[in-house]
Amino acid sequence: MPGLFAFFTGISGIFAALSVSKHWVIAFLVFLLSGAFFVSLQKEKVLKLAGIAVFVIIFFNAFSGFCLLNKPEVPYTLNGKEITLVAKTADFSKQTIRPNSFRVSGIEINGENFSGNAKVYCGMKDPPPPYSKVKIRGKIRIYGQRGIINKLNGISYVVYAESVKILKANPVLEKFSEMRKRIAKNTLLSMKSSEAMLLLSSVSGISAMNYEEKKPFTETGTAHIFAVSGLHMGILGKSTEKLFSFAGGAGGGITIGILFLFVLLVGFRASALRAFLMFSISEAAKFTGREQIPINTLSFVALLILLVNPLLLFSISFQLSFLAIFGLVILSPKLYAQMPEKLGYKMLSQVISVQLVLYPVIAYYFHMFSPVSFFANLVVIPIMYLVLPVGIVQILLSLIGLDAAKLFAPVSNFVFGMLSKIVSLFSKIPLSSVNLRFNLIFMIIYILALVFFTVSLSKSKKARLIGASLLVMALFLPILFPSGFSITPLNLRGEDGFLISRNRDVIYVTSPTFLKSEEADAYQINKVLAENGVNKVSLLICDAPLESKESSALRILPSEFEVPDIILPFPETELSHAFEKTVSGVSNVHYVNDKSKISFDGIKFSLVRCGEKYAILVRENGNTYLLVGKGCGDLSDLPYADFVYIPENANIKNIPFGKVISY
């Protein structure tokens, strides 16, 4: 399988480049030898030479990318200040229209280059075309990212733009950008709001839904419909192929041309590009009469993409897209062979295979598992064969004009309203989504269990039973595995956040926000709780009275994480009484002062006055921990503690603390 060997040669080149950029000499030699090994597996001389060329090209491309990642980040002294930067815009998939935003990289400020991606909010202005060189003036917020995966997939900076000037743009992509704006405008004007946004997000690749609106799809494992991928390309490709079947061999060429235009419209995202290339190679194989080996084709397509941009290997969308097809190619046929040859079982085997293969990646990056995803996808995927054609017709009519879009809008409203309701029903099932504390050890255990299960499918019944049992155990191990005592400070923008965990109990410490919008930290809080496998918060403590504002934590935690008890410092205020009413029937609110003693399952808490706020003193198993929030006043009167969590810019000179943990 030359494609598979060439792919692993390319992977070796990427990690060899990473080793050089990090000055890991031994690792470089290991990956150099592994590259030579995979080249040696090629049978023909021309393939061996091609393998060497692949290694060299990918090595130098990857090394160049790693060098850019190793550049310094924008200095924190610029945080909150107005700056002017020059950068290159990302593809369409990084744009949103609610609110208008786009992503840039290759950031240059005052002639100096910096690493990291920036999300740019451009107000009422439309995002510029992809791969444009732009000049942006506005305020910058610096968050920073650590590690290759986070730097490539995360956002290091947010820029609130006052002006965006396009310095250089691709004329073709400018035309497609105008088409997308026309589609979005006429779709939103012709259809109901929520149905229109679902259509744009799931069919056209125009991100029109916010975090809360996408949440039911995320919780049910059906969010893959927002990644234009094989499902979209397959339905569009097969439909177009049948439409132009009268043209004979030329019909395949016409289909590939239409799919390429669709890829341009949705942006060169990894999932769309992978699906387009695989469809094109499949058509070419049919035309030439050559046998197609799926794993070889998949490997060759991945290699083509990595030759252009080797760092896409670390892109989460790239990994999910190719692993999903890997599951369909390798695991699904083996699983289907164990099922009755009846209608529906083939799709069942495909859904189970994709979910099993993607589970460790989703759990590792997103720290969640959706038990209902198997059932939700069995319903949603067949419906997509109706939803996608309807959506494509609506998009084409919106491109023609508003009057044309209005004619078909009732049909689109019904179909996309039905899809939304079905997903919403699945998301309301108890434990439809479970947060996981999933680390590298759990991933290795699961992958080993999955490999054993896959091999066992072609063995005896006893081996299959053992394989399935081990896989189920590995699947639920992160949920059942208890954790010890830990305190995690959260680096939030406008409020304090401390996560105190012991076994299955979680206590959350928060404060009133000083930001204009209480929603500003909601996403980050949900993300951190997911990363720590938190599904229920046992106790919520606020370290300052509610006088003018609540916080994101107080707004989202009581209802979403079933908080039975909430502790607020005196005095009671109009806002605290209003808050009591909002959580009535869900949480009990208790008022305390610095004389009060709080105890929860053997953990003792007390409030220590620190300016207008309180520090939280925690006693557990003979150790004392002091949690000092942002904006606390004089720290000199704070009591001694074995461990002190304190803001990194706090002045703690000549204060007798134990171990200091800055955040």
Query: In whole angstroms, what separates CA 231 from the centre of its chain?
Result: 20
Residue 641 pLDDT: 86
Smallest CA-to-CA distance from 635 within 643, 624, 647 is with 647
Coil, strand or helix: which one is 2? helix
Tokens at 210, concatenated: 């916010």
Better-predicted residue by pLDDT, 286 or 34:
34
Smallest CA-to-CA distance from 91 within 126, 130, 138, 51 is with 130
Residue 28 pLDDT: 94
Cα distance between residue 170 and residue 324, in whole Å: 33
Strands 588-592 and 565-569: parallel
Average pLDDT over every residue of 133-139? 93
Interval 552-611: pLDDT, tens = 888 888 888 879 999 999 988 999 999 999 898 889 999 999 888 888 888 999 998 887
User: Is residue 515's pLDDT more than 80?
Assistant: no
Coil, strand or helix: which one is 169? coil
Residue 85 pLDDT: 94
Residue 267 pLDDT class (50, 70, 90 cuts):
confident
User: Is residue 37's pLDDT more than 90?
Assistant: yes
Residue type at 527 in one-letter notation = K
Residue 633 makes CB contacts below 8 A (sequence gap 6+) with: 610, 611, 612, 613
Please state the length of the chain.
663
Tokens at 58, concatenated: 């990918």
Strands 613-620 and 539-542: unpaired
Interval 300-352: pLDDT, tens = 889 998 998 898 898 888 888 888 888 988 999 999 888 887 767 888 888 89
Cα distance between residue 138 and residue 142, in whole Å: 13
Distances, alpha carbon 645 to alpha carbons 49, 521, 567, 651, in Å: 57, 20, 20, 13
* Lowest-pLDDT range of 361-365, 429-433, 480-484: 480-484
Q: Are 138 and 159 in contact (CB under 8 A)?
A: yes
Report percent pLDDT > 90 for the chain. 33
In the numeric block, the tokens 């305390």 are attached to 592
Average pLDDT over every residue of 442-463? 92
Residue type at 376 in one-letter notation = A
Angle, CA of 284, 290 and 292, to the nearest 5°:
80
Average pLDDT over every residue of 253-268? 82
Q: Are 557 and 508 in contact (CB under 8 A)?
A: yes
Please write down the HEC assignment for all residues of 241-293: HHHCHHHCHHHHHHHHHHHHHHHHHHCCCHHHHHHHHHHHHHHHHHHHCCCCC
Strands 497-502 and 486-489: antiparallel
Strands 659-662 and 643-646: parallel
User: Is residue 513's pLDDT more than 70?
Assistant: yes
DSSP state of 42: -
User: Is residue 483's pLDDT more than 70?
Assistant: no
Residue 636 pLDDT: 73
Interval 635-644: pLDDT, tens = 777 888 889 8
Q: Are 102 and 120 in contact (CB under 8 A)?
A: yes
Better-predicted residue by pLDDT, 98 or 457:
457
Coil, strand or helix: which one is 577? helix
User: Is residue 491's pLDDT more than 60?
Assistant: yes
Cα distance between residue 251 and residue 255, in whole Å: 6
Distances, alpha carbon 500 to alpha carbons 479, 492, 506, 604, in Å: 18, 16, 6, 12
How much is the mean pLDDT over the chain? 86
- Burial class of 499 by CB neighbour count within 10 A (0 to 12, 13 to 18, 19+): buried
User: Is residue 631's pLDDT more than 80?
Assistant: no
Tokens at 614, concatenated: 């309180």
Tokens at 208, concatenated: 């029109």
Residue 27 makes CB contacts below 8 A (sequence gap 6+) with: 15, 18, 19
User: Is residue 520's pLDDT more than 70?
Assistant: no
Report percent pLDDT > 70 for the chain. 96
Cα distance between residue 18 and residue 43, in whole Å: 29
Average pLDDT over every residue of 625-645? 82
Tokens at 171, concatenated: 């004329």
Which range among 43-47, 290-294, 434-438 has the greatest average pLDDT?
A: 43-47
Q: Are 62 and 14 in contact (CB under 8 A)?
A: yes
Residue 653 pLDDT: 64
Residue 516 pLDDT class (50, 70, 90 cuts):
low
Give the residue ranges of DSSP H helices in 428-511. 440-456, 461-480
Rounded to 10 degrees, the C-alpha dihedral 224/230/231/232 comes to 100
Strands 368-369 and 133-142: unpaired
End-to-end Cα distance, the chain: 50
